[in-house]
A = this chain, B = another copy of it.
């Protein structure tokens, strides 16, 4: 399933090209020393909740979900993102154990980076540390808002918001394949698969979207936005 590329040269690593980190060659070597690039297929778990934190994971490309099993043994998707980005970072600094899982929603290339190199950079490159602090801060603030939105809005609104998120942020198109099953979509917006089906059915009847299995075309983005806003 997995293909390990040994002696990964890191010469063209996405970390380097990612402008925010802006590392020079020497620093990139520090980071990539003892790093391993791994390919994941759609559906494969990249980080498993409950395992010990050993690595920082850099997702070079691919769509991933951050998700965790809640107190009622029900899975919930916290966030869906796409590379390039670091994942699992907060757990590495906060815990000895991963508090959430990361799973590939599309074929994904990820780089497992030894924590010590990352930590070295944090301590010896003030700019890198500040960039990390900024990223963590943005994540907190974003999640605060996402959480309140999810709590207060009704499901149709949260569903509409999710579609807009896919359309605008993940796929940058009005037409895309939902990277989730109905069950997962439920876990993402906080409901059951049946309710997801019903909302899709309602939206289709109202000619807001056109759905065929996982394929979605947004017909009326304005109304979708309005539904998302009204709550």
Contact assessment for B148 and A150 in the assembled complex, using a CB-CB cutoff below 8 Å: no
Distance in angstroms from A196 CB to nearest chain B CB is 15
Contact digits for A120-136, partner B, Cβ 8 Å, 1 yes 0 no: 00111010011011101
Contact assessment for B143 and A144 in the assembled complex, using a CB-CB cutoff below 8 Å: yes
* Segment of A4-12, A87-95, A102-110 in the binding face: A87-95
Complex alpha-carbon distance, A76 and B231, angstroms: 15
Contacts of A213 in B (CB 8 A): none
Complex alpha-carbon distance, A95 and B144, angstroms: 14
Complex alpha-carbon distance, A93 and B157, angstroms: 30
Q: Name the CB-closest residue of B to A127.
A: B123
* Segment of A66-74, A166-174, A175-183, A214-222 in the binding face: A66-74
Among A138-157, those with CB < 8 Å from B are 138-141, 143-145, 147-153, 157
Give residues in A with beta carbon < 8 Å to B: 68, 70-72, 74, 76, 78, 89-95, 99-100, 119, 122-124, 126, 129-130, 132-134, 136-141, 143-145, 147-153, 157, 190, 229, 231
Q: Known contacts A76-B151, A123-B129; can you find 7 more A-B pairs with CB under 8 A?
A: A76-B148, A90-B138, A93-B133, A93-B137, A94-B138, A122-B133, A140-B140
